[in-house]
Structure 1
Amino acid sequence: MPFAVYLLGLAVFAQGTSEFMLSGLIPGIARDLQVSIPAAGLLTSAFAVGMVVGAPLMAVLSLRWSRRFALPAFLVTFLVVHVVGALTTSYGVLLGTRVIAALANAGFLAVAMATAVALAPPDAKGRATSVLLGGVTIACVAGVPGGALLGEVWGWRSAFWAVAVALVPAIVAVLKSVPSGARGPAGPASPRARGELRELRRPRLLVLLLLAGLVNGGTFCTFTYLAPLLTGDTGIGSSWMPLMLALFGLGSFAGVTVSGRVADKRPIRLLAICGPALAAGWAVFALAAGAPVPAVVLVFVQGTLSFAVGSTLISQVLYAATGAPTLAGGFATAALNVGATLGPWLGGLTIGAGLGLRSPLWVSALLVAAALVTAAVAHAVGVNPVEKGRPAEAQ
């Protein structure tokens, strides 16, 4: 795998840290800017919405640029808005910076996926995808506890400064490592965009995007409410929560590592085994959440299965969309973030309805089960969403 792909993963880590760290900074932001906790929580929602809208939009806009220009341009934008966020005393300005940061992050991910696939060997899209998503999982491990620690010691603004500083070497690395010839397809942007959009109307791609959104919805439905579940029903002390969140992140990293080794050659086998296991695991977690030992084990196991399945589905999107390399990455990013927005919302509805802290686990199980049913129905009507890498490449 070219070293430039790993450097793209480093940049994804820096941006992912910004997304995940906010959950530990909400109380401090609310106090400092004199807003309510729900208002401060909207900063997270604004980022998620910006990712959903921004992924395809920024992917289309970036068709006009070389990848060597687009990647650092998105990173510089991300850095600047974090500096503004660290300096502002206005809640409205901070909210605006989160939206702009999400747009820049979405654009970077879309172009980075296309660049990683272009730099990797033709039959290694799964490995390239796992490297990029590995940056997200490491951010999940470090972002929440790291951001909370910085916020506790030096205030929430220090976490924003830390992200800005971390982006500097990432920008330099991308400028030095991405080849100057790394461009999207030749030709005017508008015809290229129309051509790529036509590719994305194919049934196989639509099914894959739906599957990725459902699986990611299940993942973040439980992850969002993991701390109250473990401190409430499981009885684990709140001081252990950073470790529990890090354990889920370590499982996620293990999952993308496994996917990177298997997804290119045996994606059908991986999904046939891990998909049902993931749905069953959420149900078992719901039943066993009252006991600390199985709960802790399942935190790691479900993190592993979730990201092994999710990463494999994204690599399949990239294999199936060879005629739409940039927009495929954008729509894959949007699908993941639709799931990451829908899942926690559904989990919150069940908790609000009085169904208990374990109810998001059942929602996660149902979302993954819905993905399995969708895949089965698609196969029954002649749409095979998952294929080996090399045959898909030839389509």
Structure 2
Amino acid sequence: MDNSSRIRLTVGWITLFLMGTDLFVVSPLLPFISQEYHITSAEAGWMVTVFAITYAVSAPFFGWISDKKGRRYFIILGLFLFVLANILTGLAPSFSWLIGSRILAGLSVASITPLIYAIIGDVAPSDRRGAWLSIVVSGHLMALWAGAPVGALLEHLLGWRFVFLAMALMGAILVVINFKTWESIPRIPSGRKVIKGNMARILGSVSVTTIWAISMYALYVYLGAALYSLNKFTTSEVSLAVTFFGIGAVMGSLTSGQMTDRFGESVISKVTLALLSIVLIVLGVFFSSGGWIYLILFLWALVGYAGFTSYQARLAADFQEHRGTAFAWNNTALYIGITLGSIIGSYVVANWGYSLLPFISSGAAAISFVMSTHKLSISSRLEEVK
């Protein structure tokens, strides 16, 4: 790997780490934000909701326009909006102002995250695309267990507003760095007519990600509460469990890239989805196994995020001329799946308790495996309906 390749991967990794931190850091800050504005934690949670909705709605537009006009300027535009959004969040005099700033943040991240995936897919050697994508995906996942705790520490030392102002400063630095990093990347244009012809295939393919997200987040959203209820875990033990999960997620992403390049995107994505269903059954059976739960959570994340990363590589290979559109819709599918997963998880917990969640998630993983195996026929049917 030459120096320019290392620079591109490093810049992509750091940029996605910052985007992930902006998303994941809000959760530990909610109690302090709700206290300052004299609102409930549930009301403060709308910061996450409006961010996610804005992201899911706007990402496909940025993916489509980047396929036509190029990715670099839309990444830079997104970073400018990111800086502005976090400054507004850090200085917000009222909660309504804060909500508006998070809508702008969702818009900014929607024009950055999928386009970083796409541009890495564009510049990566064909025999190393899986490894390159796995590296930048690990940056986003690293924020889950590294960026968020660092943000919480900064809140303790300097207050929650400083966290967002610090991210604005980092975003401003990345504007310059990304502008220079991607200036020599040629635009890969695609025509409107071709996009129309591939739209059904893209939607059929990314639907696999929606079901995968349900399999992961129907349980993960309630993981802390489940560990407390079923295992009587303390706060520190729950934090340790989440750390094991986070390490597994990063390692799964990184190792899947190597396996994808060796055995192929299709093979690894199918194998990992099948293994995910099995591991979730094991997790359900041994959920109250004491110390063994840490290892099983690690394996769950390892297999689960290996599946996500390998499927990203599969999309990059399947939609070479429309990677921006495919990755953008895949990210929208991801957020839809996370939302549906939290709703399904809430219903299961309310009616049957936490112990059933791993088995429900396993069923969703099995469905995603079947959809992945037959996604070509699914896409063909969508094409016929269209």
Q: How far is the alpha carbon of 1:359 from its aligned partner?
A: 3.5
Structure 1 residue 273: Cα displacement = 3.2
Residues 243 and 79 from structure 1, CA distance in 2 versus in 1: closer, same or farther, beyond 3 angstroms? farther
Identity %: 23
Letter in 2 for 1:7: V
Amino acid at match of 1:195: V
Q: Unpaired runs of 5+ in structure 2?
A: 381-386
Contact 1:229 1:357 in 2 (8 A): yes
1:223 and 2:220 equivalent? yes
- Match of residue 333 from structure 2: 335
Structure with the higher fraction of residues in helix conformation: 2
- Say if 2:236 is the partner of 1:239: yes
Q: Does 1:350 align with 2:354?
A: no
Q: Give the drift of 1:272.
A: 4.1
Determine the structure 2 residue equivalent to 1:388: none
1:106 aligns with 2:110: yes
Query: Does structure 1 residue 264 correspond to structure 2 residue 250?
Result: no
CA-CA distance at 1:54 after TM superposition: 1.5
Instruction: Structure 1: state its 5+ residue gaps.
Output: 187-191, 385-395
RMSD, aligned CA: 2.2
Look up the equivalent residue of 1:155 and give its one-letter code. Answer: G
Shift of 1:316: 0.8
What SS class does the counterpart of residue 112 from structure 2 fall into?
helix
Deviations 1:270-310 (A, max 9, x none): 23432222112112212211122221111111111111001
1:154-196 CA-to-partner distances (Å, cap 9, x unmatched) read 332222123223323322321221134432417xxxxx34532
Q: TM-score, normalised by structure 2?
A: 0.90
Match for 1:56 among 34, 37, 60? 60
**Which of 158, 166, 171 does residue 167 from structure 1 map onto?**
171
* Among 30, 33, 38, the residue aligned to 2:42: 38
Aligned match of 1:199: 198
Question: One-letter code of the match for 2:156?
Answer: E
| Number of the residue aligned with 1:296 | 294
Q: Residue 246 of structure 2: which of 234, 246, 249 is its match?
A: 249
Q: In the TM superposition, what is the alpha-carbon distance from 1:382 to its structure 2 partner? A: 9.0
Contact kept, 8 Å, 2:205 with 2:375, in 1: the verdict is no
Counterparts of 2:225 and 2:307 in 1: how far apart (Å)?
Answer: 25
Pairing partner for 2:136 from 129, 132, 149: 132
Tell me the amino acid that sits aligned with residue 334 of structure 1. Answer: T
TM-score, normalised on structure 1? 0.88
Deviation at residue 31 of structure 1 after TM alignment: 0.9
Shift of 1:122: 2.4
What SS does structure 2 have at the residue aligned with 1:263? helix
1:154 to 148, 153, 158: 158
Q: How does 1:170-181 map to 2 (within 5 A)?
A: 170-181=174-185
Aligned AA for 1:236? Answer: F
Q: Deviations over 1:71-99 (max 9, x none)?
A: 12211211110010010121112112212
Shift of 1:209: 0.9
Kindly provide the CA deviation profile for residues 287-339 of structure 1, in whole angstroms up to 9, marking residues without a partner as x. Answer: 21112222111111111111100111111111111131221121121122211
Partner of 2:383: none
| Structure 1 position 309 matched with structure 2 position 312 | no
CA contact (8 A) 1:214 1:339 kept: yes
Mapped to 1, the partners of 2:238 and 2:194 lie a distance apart of 47
Q: Deviations 1:78-124 (Å, cap 9, x if unpaired)?
A: 11100100101211121122122112111112221221112111233
Q: CA deviation at 1:27?
A: 1.1
User: Quick one: structure 1 residues 113 and 175, their matched pair in 2 at CA, closer, same or farther if it must change by over 3 Å?
Assistant: same
Q: How many residues align?
A: 375
For the residue of structure 2 that corresponds to 1:324, the secondary structure is helix
Deviations 1:125-151 (A, max 9, x none): 222321221111111121332233333
Counterpart Cα distance in 2 of 1:200 and 1:209 = 11
